[in-house]
Amino acid sequence: MHVIFVEPSFPRNQREFPRALHAVGARVTAIGEAPAEALGPEMRSWLHGYEQVPSVVHEPSLLEAVRRVQKREWVDRLEATVEAHILPAARVRAACGIPGTSVETAFLCRDKPAMKEALRRGGIPCARSTGTDSADEVREFARRVGYPLIIKPRDAAGAAGTWRVRDDRELEVAIRESHLDRGASVAVEEFIEGHEGFFDTITIGGKIAHYFITHYYPGVLEAMRTRWISPQFVTTNRIDAEGYDELKVMGKKVIELLQIGTSATHMEWFFGPKGLKFSEIGCRPPGVGAWDLYCAANDMDVYKEWAMAIVHGHPSAQPSRRYAAGIVNLRPDRDGHISGYEGLEILDRYGEWLIDYHLPPVGARTQPVEAGYMANAWVRLKHPDYDRLRAMLDRVGETLKVRAR
C-alpha cells in the first residue's frame, strides 16, 4: 500500500507515524514544509518519496503536491494527524479520489457548534451551545442560558484561545479579545461543572479496535491559566471499571454518528452534577505525547497499531493494561530564563517507574503557562496501581521546582 503522510517533522512525535507505516510494510510519501535534507537520514530511510510545500494547510499547494505524486504512481491513502491539517487533507482527499475521512466528517470534527448540533440530534448529551460571528447573538445566548459560559474559536483545539466568562463584564472582555466585535466567528457554550477527561480510540471501518481512557487533574482551562499548579493527565489501567461503561457507550455512538471510519480519535468529556457530557472530538490522535503514555502503559506500539489499521485493516496486538501512566507538567516560577532546579533527587526515588522526562537547560527561555503540558519541564511515570501513580505524580509536582530569573 502507498500512503501519503502530511507533515512528518513537526511536532516532534510526528516522525513516529511514518516510522510505523514503514514498519508495517507501507510505501510512504511524505508532504512537509521542511527541505528534504532537514529530515535526517533515519526519516529519509522510512520514506519512499517526499514533496516540499510552503504550507501543508494551504490547500492549493497540498493538492498540487498530491497530484504530482499521483502522476507518478497510485496512491491508496492520504493521512494527517494534526488538528489543523485534518480538514485541508480531507478536501484534497476528496478532490483526488483517495479513500479516507470525508470532508463532512472532518468539518464536523473541526467546527465545535456544528459538531454538537449533529450529536444532540443523535441523542448525545452536550452543553448548550451555538456558533456565531455576532456579539449581540452571544449576549442574547448569555441572557438565555446564564453564566458561566465558555467562548472559544470555532475550530480551537484544547483550551487554545478559550475564555471562561462569569458575568457581563467578562463577557465584554471576551468579545473584544476574541475579536468577535470585528467579525471573528466563535463557539459559545454553557460551562459544564465536573471532572474532565478524554476517551481515545483507533477505529477500523467505524468499529473501535483500541481504546484508552485518561483523566485531567485539574481541568484543562484551570491548568492552562494557573502558574502554581503542576497539572497532570493520567491514563488508567482500570479500564473495565463499571463507572466507565456509560463513557464507552457514548464514545461508540459518537463515532457512529459522525461516520468516522478508519482513523484515530480523541474525545473530551465531562462528568459532574449534570451527569456525563460530551465536550468535543477530533478524528486524529491526541496531542502532547498521550500516545507515548499509552505505549508505556500497555506494552504496545500504539503508532504501529494505527499504521496496521490504515494499511492492513486489523490490529496486530492487544493492550496489556499492565500500568497506569501519566505526565506532570512543571512550570517555572516566573517568565524569563531557566536559572536552575530544586528537588531533582525525586527522579532517583521513582527511577523504577520513570518513563522519561524533559528539563530545559539552564539559560533556556521559559514558555508561557498557557503553552501546554510539554512547553517547559515535565516528567512521565507509570505504575501498576493508579492511585499510587497519582500520589507519585503529586509528589514530583510538589518537590521538583523550576526556577527562573
Q: pTM (2 decimals)? A: 0.91
Residue 127: its pLDDT value, please? 86
Residue 121: its pLDDT value, please? 95
Residue 159: its pLDDT value, please? 54
Residues 253, 255, 257, 259: is their CA dihedral positive or negative?
negative
Alpha-helix residue ranges (DSSP H) falling in 178-313: 220-223, 245-257, 290-298, 302-311
CATH code, residues 2-100: 3.40.50.20
Instruction: Using alpha carbons only, give the angle 313, 316, 321 rounded to the nearest 5 degrees.
Output: 125
Closest CA to 270 of 326, 232, 201, 221: 221
Is the distance from CB of 157 to CB of 165 less than 8 angstroms?
no
Residue 160: its pLDDT value, please? 58
Sketch the domain layout of the chain as residue ranges: 2-100, 128-190, 195-404
Residue 36: its pLDDT value, please? 95
Q: How far apart are CA 282 and CA 238, in angstroms?
A: 24
Strand ranges (E), 1-99: 2-6, 27-32, 49-52, 77-79
Closest CA to 280 of 265, 292, 302, 290: 265
Q: How far apart are CA 6 and CA 31, in angstroms?
A: 5
Q: Per-residue pLDDT for the chain (405 aa), expressed as one digit of tens each?
A: 999 999 999 888 999 999 999 999 999 999 999 999 999 999 999 999 999 999 999 999 999 999 999 999 999 999 999 999 999 999 999 999 999 999 999 999 998 889 999 999 999 999 888 889 999 999 999 999 999 999 988 766 555 578 889 999 999 999 999 888 888 899 898 888 899 999 999 999 999 999 999 999 999 888 988 899 999 999 999 999 999 999 999 999 999 999 999 999 999 999 999 899 999 999 999 999 999 999 999 999 999 999 999 999 999 999 999 999 999 999 999 999 999 999 999 999 999 999 999 999 999 999 999 899 999 999 999 999 999 999 999 999 999 999 999
Is the distance from CB of 169 to CB of 183 less than 8 angstroms?
no
**C-alpha dist (Å) from residue 114 to 111, 129, 190, 260:** 6, 9, 15, 15
Written as nine digits, the cell of 123 is: 441523542
Residue 240: its pLDDT value, please? 95
Instruction: Using alpha carbons only, give the angle 187, 191, 192 rounded to the nearest 5 degrees.
Output: 125
Is the distance from CB of 103 to CB of 87 less than 8 angstroms?
yes
Residue 156: its pLDDT value, please? 61
CATH code, residues 128-190: 3.30.1490.20
Task: Look at domain 195-404 and name its CATH class.
Answer: alpha beta
β-partners of residue 301 are none
